[in-house]
A and B are shown apart, each in its own frame.
Chain A
Amino acid sequence: MSEPCAIEARALSKHFGSLVAVDKLDLDVPRGRIYGFLGPNGCGKSTTIRMLCGLLTPTSGRATVLGIEVPGDAAALKARIGYMTQKFSLFGDMTNYENLQFIAEIYSYPRADRERRINELLERYDLADRRKQLAGTMSGGQKQRLALACAVLHKPDLLLLDEPTSAVDPQSRRDFWAKLFELAEAGTTILVSTHYMDEAERCHRLAILDRGVKVADGTPQELKENTGMHVVEVLADDPFAAQKLVDTVPGVVSVTQLGIRLRVLIPDSIEDPVERVAARLKQGNLAASATLSAAGLEDVFVAVTLKPERVAA
């Protein structure tokens, strides 16, 4: 089998009535990689993932997942995909062990090896001393670990994780990602949607979605290098006043406040961005400094999800 990409989508669209949830999406997810899906609420991340695993029928366009056309004979595909829903979808009134056991039975995991596999997963996902706890009574992070354990139980080639770490503390998130890297290392392709920049940063590749449209696609490094924007960082004693002032500088498309710092985005077609900003600050008699800065993913995100009218102005 020579499948260049784990997921290949062409002009994939999904309409809900008049709402276009996903708009002509092209996607190439290489094998054995962690591919990130970044985008604001309602931009179509979950909808895309659901189309990819055959839960939703695309309005138009096509996609192949692990070399299999979707939607189509999904049954063959299901056995090779692990899907972790955005909302906890395991059985709250069953214990962790019972949930895993159920998943093992549903996926027809070899009977002889079942017990060992379940114990291994309980161990690896830190649930060993909670095997008899009802899943519904666990904390958010514990539930996510159980959900991941269930999603990987049948050793899928492709993992689709829909915001697996929402409501998880930073430490647990780091642990969670360590597990993802382990899996990727072992050859599993992972598509993961997220709102967190630090997570996006860890992906091998990522796509940014905005209102159903893919607005950026590449490695985090590529994305940061190709924002098409200058990033000017302003340090000000009164950042609030500075923001109001900088906002009026011609060419500025976005000002984001981070504590006493401002991140100012100016299209790179405009010359001398720092001077422009500094001049305006000086005019306003504000104690502030402006320096050119390298773009971070946050800046990329802001830049690509800007309202179109703002960019045109």
Chain B
Amino acid sequence: MKNSLSRLGAIVRKEVRQLRRDRLTFGMVVGLPIIQMLLFGYAINTDVRNLKTAFADEADTHLSREFIANLKQSQVADVRYRSSSPAELEELLRQGRISIGVHIPRDFDRRIVDRERAAVHLLVDGSDPTILSVANQLRSMPVGFDSTPPAADSVGAVEVRPYYNPERRTPVNIVPGLMGIILTMTMMLFTAVAIVRERERGNLELLINTPVSSAELMIGKVIPYILIGMLQLALILGVGDLLFNVPVRGSIVDLYLAASLFIAANLALGLLISTLASTQFQAMQMTVFILLPSILLSGFMFPFDGMPRFAQLLGELLPTTHFIRLTRGIMLREAGIVELYPAVIALAAFAAVALTLAASRFSKRLD
């Protein structure tokens, strides 16, 4: 047992050492999530200006007029109409004549002062993700007396109410989805390639002729990548929070639990690929074979509910689909991991099956 642990440690140390020397891979570990986040995040966020806006100012105080003036100055909102009631705003929104409706309730001044409830309601056309993201930017707009800057921890003065389909393809939705895609890509590819490379270079022939067991070898190779997965997750969340204001509404612990399960599933899949591929190139091809549907059919690119039945069935077979359900649920809807148990079970089953298959195929023999 003691020997087994020290052998495991030896494999892990070796792996980390090699990873550190492999500049490109190491760069990928850190660079890939960041670059992807920037690409996906900004491709959708940039150049959103002059959204058609209407407001209903039921308070009509000095403060509320100042807020409207600020809104006009921001260039984001192009204030076109003045309505008399929230109902009228909804009407305009439904007709597509405006993208944002600003409702300032009668007790606006009081709400600003005691900061218990949101002072302003933004009614947003959530069917367009860009708009929702812009509306989210508006949340940070300062409201209040010039002498009292809003406290950082207070309830935002502006509350955004995404209408119609709040869950769909919003920029906020991109990050939880992207998390799934990036982890799929790196976890599966890195493990598969790490093992196939050793076979290609002949290292495996040496390794399997030492007292190291298959389990020690597999686990030892996988541990560093679990850590890398966690690191990437932290990077994605960090960048998402810093640049795109993507919150984690639910429990971060739940999120990491879900991610662990997902990483396990992907690593198992990577191991399985490594037992099937005899060259790194083949391993890469197989990864792409799984990655592409993961991008297209998991609900990351297109809303899952809108996909044809057949595509949905395929999507259900991908761990990414289930993971994205988990991340969106936890991060956006504040759901607990327990509530989302079908996805958890699916991921666990996936990891178990892939690991069993991989372990049965991965023998300490060459034939």
Contact = CB atoms under 8 A, between A and B. Distances in A.
Interface string A48-88: 00100111110000000000000100110011010101011
B21 A93 contact: yes
Nearest to A105: B10
B95 interface: no
Interface string B46-66: 000000000000000000000
Given A102-B14, A105-B9, A106-B210, A85 B205 contact: yes
Contacts of A53: 209
A171 interface: no
A103 interface: yes
A30 interface: no
Interface stretch (B29-37, B289-297, B338-346, B359-367): B359-367
Contacts of B366: 50, 55-56
Given A57-B365, A105-B9, A88 B202 contact: yes
Contacts of A89: 201-206
B205 A106 contact: no
A240 interface: no
A78 B211 contact: yes
Nearest to B209: A83
A92 B13 CA distance: 15
B12 to A, nearest CB: 11
A71 B363 CA distance: 13
Label chain A's interface by main secondary structure.
loop
Contacts of B202: 85, 87-89
B209 A102 contact: no
A105 B205 contact: no
B7 A105 contact: yes
A109 B59 CA distance: 81
Nearest to B9: A105
A94 interface: yes
Contacts of A94: 14, 17-18, 21
A131 to B, nearest CB: 15
Interface in B121-153: none
Nearest to A53: B209
Interface residues of A, number: 29
A87 B198 CA distance: 13
B364 to A, nearest CB: 7
A91 interface: yes
Contacts of A88: 202
A91 B6 contact: no
Interface string A244-261: 000000000000000000
A11 B316 CA distance: 53
B212 A106 contact: yes
Contact of B3 (A50, A56, A74, A108): A108
Contacts of A54: 209, 364-365
Interface in B310-358: none
A98 interface: yes
B22 interface: yes
A85 B201 CA distance: 12
Contacts of A56: 365-367
B300 to A, nearest CB: 35
Contacts of B22: 93
A107 interface: yes
Contacts of A78: 209-211
B206 A92 contact: no
B170 interface: no
A38 B201 CA distance: 26
A90 interface: yes
A79 B209 CA distance: 9
B11 to A, nearest CB: 8
A256 to B, nearest CB: 34
A85 B21 contact: no
B18 A93 contact: yes
Nearest to B3: A108
B208 interface: yes
Contact of A75 (B17, B204, B211): B211
B208 to A, nearest CB: 7
Contacts of B365: 54-57, 71
Interface string A118-154: 0000000000000000000000000000000000000
Contacts of A93: 18, 21-22
B210 A107 contact: yes
A161 to B, nearest CB: 13
A83 B206 contact: yes
B289 to A, nearest CB: 28
Interface string B216-259: 00000000000000000000000000000000000000000000
A91 B212 CA distance: 16
Contacts of B211: 75, 78-79, 106-108
Contacts of A75: 211, 213
A55 B208 contact: yes
For the complex of A and B, list the 6 residue pairs with the smallest distance between their C-beta atoms, beginning with the closest: A105-B10, A89-B206, A89-B202, A108-B3, A87-B202, A83-B209
6 contacts: A56-B366, A75-B211, A78-B209, A98-B14, A102-B14, A106-B212
